[in-house]
Amino acid sequence: MSGTDPLDVLRASTRARVALGRAGDALPTARLLELRAAHAAARDAVHSPLDVDALTGDIAALGVDTLRVAGAPRDRAEYLTRPDLGRLLTAGTELPAGEHDVVLVVADGLSPRAVQEHAPGMLAEIQARLDGWRVAPVVVATQARVALGDEIAAALGARSTVVLIGERPGMSSVDSLGVYFTYDARRGCRDSERNCLSNIRPPHGTGYAAAATTLAMLMSEARRLKLSGVALKADPALPAG
């Protein structure tokens, strides 16, 4: 069609910033302002605190008991500059020990907004697929990195962890939720021993049901093979669990 920009198809196929055009030797003003707004939104997503009361209320509405913990960083600034502290529980934290197959941890991570918006819906789908698993109370963790789940599992007596965490915001995605599954969770687990499902953020990313179905498959195979991580693949040929 005459007058149609041939790059419109490319722009419509992705949320990435492509074919932005030019004004002289620079970006058009509108595109530059959009870029700055996206950068500001990403910064806000990192620094905005998690509303723990609202989140635990949403989780309680699912009929699930919750516990609250915090990572070792004293504040958000220390959390961002000391990732190692986000992998440790605050000194003196006590959790009720038991015998559990899995603990679900909801952690603020680098995008508390993602957790606030997507964790309850994702938890509902995961809970619906945990028949046959002894599940610990859901743990809501602030100033937390993924490996804090290992500390929580050790304290609670859980064999495995599923950590729902806010992923690092991007310029076109500030609310992406990640899910990390670790079988035989323990202090000192390597990242290669975890499976990750990323970009859970309907409608622009993976949906809750699809992600939970893949997670259930991984968990079932992990329990059969007694491992997780790089040796466990999310292969459609695997049994559905």
Q: Which pTM does this prediction carry?
A: 0.87
Supply the pLDDT for residue 235. 62
Supply the pLDDT for residue 3. 60
What are the tokens at 18?
């492509």
**Cis check: omega of the bond before 236, within 30 degrees of 0:** no
Supply φ then ψ for residue 158, to 5 degrees.
-100, 140
DSSP sequence for 21-83: --BTTB--HHHHHHHHHHHHHHHHHHHSPP-HHHHHHHHHTTT--EEEEEBS-SSHHHHHH-T
pLDDT digit string (tens) for 1-15? 456 777 778 777 777
DSSP secondary structure letter of residue 227:
-
Supply the pLDDT for residue 19. 78
- Do residues 76 and 143 lie in contact, with contact meaning Cβ atoms separated by under 8 Å? yes
Strand partners, 38: none
Nearest to 145 by CA among 86, 104, 93, 190: 86
- Do residues 208 and 225 lie in contact, with contact meaning Cβ atoms separated by under 8 Å? no
Nearest to 206 by CA among 127, 90, 121: 121
- Ranges of residues in the chain with a pLDDT under 70 are 1-3, 235-241
Supply the pLDDT for residue 1. 47
**Strands annotated E in the chain:** 66-70, 100-107, 138-142, 158-166, 177-182, 194-200
Supply the pLDDT for residue 144. 97
Supply φ then ψ for residue 155, to 5 degrees.
-70, -35
pLDDT digit string (tens) for 181-195? 999 999 999 999 999
Supply the pLDDT for residue 152. 97
State the virtual CA torsion across 154, 78, 56, 174 in degrees, nearest 10.
-110
DSSP secondary structure letter of residue 206:
B
Supply the pLDDT for residue 14. 78
pLDDT more than 70, % of the chain:
95
Question: How big is the chain, counted in residues?
Answer: 241
Supply the pLDDT for residue 240. 45
